Structure 1
Amino acid sequence: MSAVKKIKSVATDPRFVLVMLMLVVVTVAADAQNIDSGIQAITKSTDALKKYIPVVTKLCYALAGIVAVVGAISVYIKMNNEEQDVKKSIMMIVGACIFLVAAAQALPLFFGL
């Protein structure tokens, strides 16, 4: 008898299938019993994320300031060169700054702070 035929005969044996099914059920039941550790892990990671929120908020404000300063310099250069898309550049820079400030304001609300 070849090895493949032996494996097929064992895999189709009803006793083997029943034992494997019982092992799967017992393993799933054993994993499902310890839900408290999962809740504690999620709570711990949520608390760790909440500690980062003030730092990320300040970072968003700093990025908005940098975008505003660099954008103002860019607009000044475009105005001196008499380029046509100055208005478009101003709107893009103002939009980026508004987005960064709004994101910094909304970030704590996502985590319930």
Structure 2
Amino acid sequence: MNKNIKNALKSKRTILSAALMVAATASVFAQGNGLAGINEATSMVSSYFDPGTKLIYAIGAVVGLIGGVKVYGKFSSGDPDTSKTAASWFGACIFLIVAATILRSFFL
């Protein structure tokens, strides 16, 4: 019976040591792949900023044109609220342009 217990403990130690070796090996491989993955993700995100910035500039231009037409319509009809409308549309365009520029300079 004493021999059976020793054999059982020996097999458990063997299995445990094999499991530890596999875990250690997996962690070594995971460190290298994790760094490569982070570098790849960084380069992918950085490559999207230039087209994204241009898209935000285009949206700002469209918003500016729509705002200009709305302000012209209010001015032509004699609405006393024209300066408030012009300021809000102009502020929206400035915000889009400044936000795109700041995001680009912050992340790149």
CA distance in structure 2 between the partners assigned to 1:29 and 1:93 by the alignment: 60
Q: 1:36 offset after TM fit, Å? A: 2.1
Q: Whose Rg is larger?
A: 2
Counterpart among 53, 57, 60 of residue 53 in structure 2: 57
Q: 1:45 offset after TM fit, Å? A: 0.9
**Aligned-pair identity (%):** 32
* Corresponding residue of 1:69: 65
In angstroms, what is the RMSD of aligned CA positions?
Answer: 2.3
Amino acid in the other structure paired with 1:65: A
Residues 41 and 93 of structure 1: is their aligned pair in 2 closer, same or farther, counting only changes over 3 Å? same
**What secondary structure sits across from 2:75 in the alignment?**
helix
1:82 and 2:81 correspond? no
CA distance in structure 2 between the partners assigned to 1:75 and 1:111 by the alignment: 35
* Corresponding residue of 2:3: none
Residues 63 and 35 of structure 1: is their aligned pair in 2 closer, same or farther, counting only changes over 3 Å? same
Number of residue-to-residue matches in the alignment: 89
Amino acid in the other structure paired with 2:64: A
Amino acid in the other structure paired with 1:95: G
Q: 1:110 offset after TM fit, Å? A: 2.4
Residues 39 and 83 of structure 1: is their aligned pair in 2 closer, same or farther, counting only changes over 3 Å? same
Provide TM-score, normalisation by structure 1.
0.66
* Corresponding residue of 2:94: 98
